[in-house]
């Protein structure tokens, strides 16, 4: 089955700096890679996703890059703000009509210091 590893497990940055979280996956057939943000006591919130037919996707201050050859993908947050503090999870799946079961990484706790 799929295995997703996520690094670092904790990340502390100064407000305004950039943050990068990296994930690697094992199943070369995986084709869908979402990122979720989970604030303390709240539900995971989908913040951005990418499919294997593109290499990069941006949405305002966040971007995701995908390297299919190396089987890794990364989340980039620019101009970090205190409200970006949360746990971020990457995930991977073989998304098709047979379903979209997500395999998650272990999470990264991001702390943005004002």
Partner 1 sequence: EAGVTQSPTHLIKTRGQQATLRCSPISGHTSVYWYQQALGLGLQFLLWYDEGEERNRGNFPPRFSGRQFPNYSSELNVNALELEDSALYLCASGRRRNEQFFGPGTRLTVL
| Nearer residue to partner 1 within complex by CB, 34 or 86 | 34
Cβ distance to partner 1 smaller for residue 81 or 100: 100
Q: How far is the CB of 107 from partner 1 (least distance, A)?
A: 5
Q: How far is the CB of 15 from partner 1 (least distance, A)?
A: 27
Please, which residue, 99 or 114, has the CB nearer to partner 1? 99
Q: Please, which residue, 85 or 105, has the CB nearer to partner 1?
A: 105
- Pairing between strand 86-92 and 32-38? antiparallel
In the complex, least distance from residue 2 CB atom to partner 1, rounded to whole angstroms:
10
Residues that bind partner 1 (CB under 8 A): 32, 34, 36, 42-46, 49, 89, 91, 95-107
Q: How far is the CB of 39 from partner 1 (least distance, A)?
A: 12
CA distance 68 to 91: 14
Strand bridging mode 10-14 / 108-113:
parallel
Pairing of strands 32-38, 45-51: antiparallel
CA distance 18 to 79: 6
CA angle 84-85-89, nearest 5°? 90
Find where tokens 């303390």 sit.
Answer: 40
């Amino acid at each position: 089955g799929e295995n997703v590893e996520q690094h670092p497990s904790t990340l502390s940055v100064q407000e305004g700096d950039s943050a990068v979280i990296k994930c690697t996956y094992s199943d070369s057939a995986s084709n869908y890679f979402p990122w979720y943000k989970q604030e303390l006591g709240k539900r995971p919130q989908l913040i951005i996703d990418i499919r294997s037919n593109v290499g990069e996707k941006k949405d305002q201050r966040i971007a995701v890059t995908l390297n299919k050859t190396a089987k890794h993908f990364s989340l980039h947050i620019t101009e970090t703000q205190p409200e970006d503090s949360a746990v971020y999870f990457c995930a991977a799946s073989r998304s098709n009509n047979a379903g979209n079961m997500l395999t998650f990484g272990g999470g990264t706790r991001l702390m943005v210091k004002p």
